[in-house]
Amino acid sequence: MNIEKVKLNILKLKGKEIILKINIGRNRYESVIGVVQGIYPYVFTVQSGKELKTFSYVDLLTKNVIIVN
């Protein structure tokens, strides 16, 4: 998989609720449920409650962030 395929997959999810599993180090993970809000050239944003989180497409390629849906 390359970065262009990752961007296309995220673009398809815009406006939909997703579950993200985020690697926070030492085999610990945090789960985030939110709606994909913004798609930008290098990052995308997820609205989780009142908090807006930003993730890079590279995070998905390196599996630091995993989409669970």
pLDDT digits (tens, 9 = 90+) for 2-21: 999 999 999 999 999 999 99
| pLDDT reading at 64 higher than 90 | yes
CA 62 to chain centre: 12
Neighbours of 10 (CB within 10 A): 19
Closest CA to 35 of 63, 53, 16: 16
Q: How many angstroms separate the CA atoms of 31 and 44, rounded?
A: 17
Two tokens, residue 23: 């690697």
Q: What is the pLDDT of residue 1?
A: 79
Look over the chain and give the mean of its residue pLDDT values, rounded to a whole number: 94
CB 12 within 8 A of CB 61: no
0.75 surpassed by pTM: yes
Rounded to the nearest angstrom, the gap between the alpha carbon of residue 20 and the centroid of all alpha carbons in its chain is 6
The CATH fold assigned to 3-67 is: SH3 type barrels. (2.30.30)
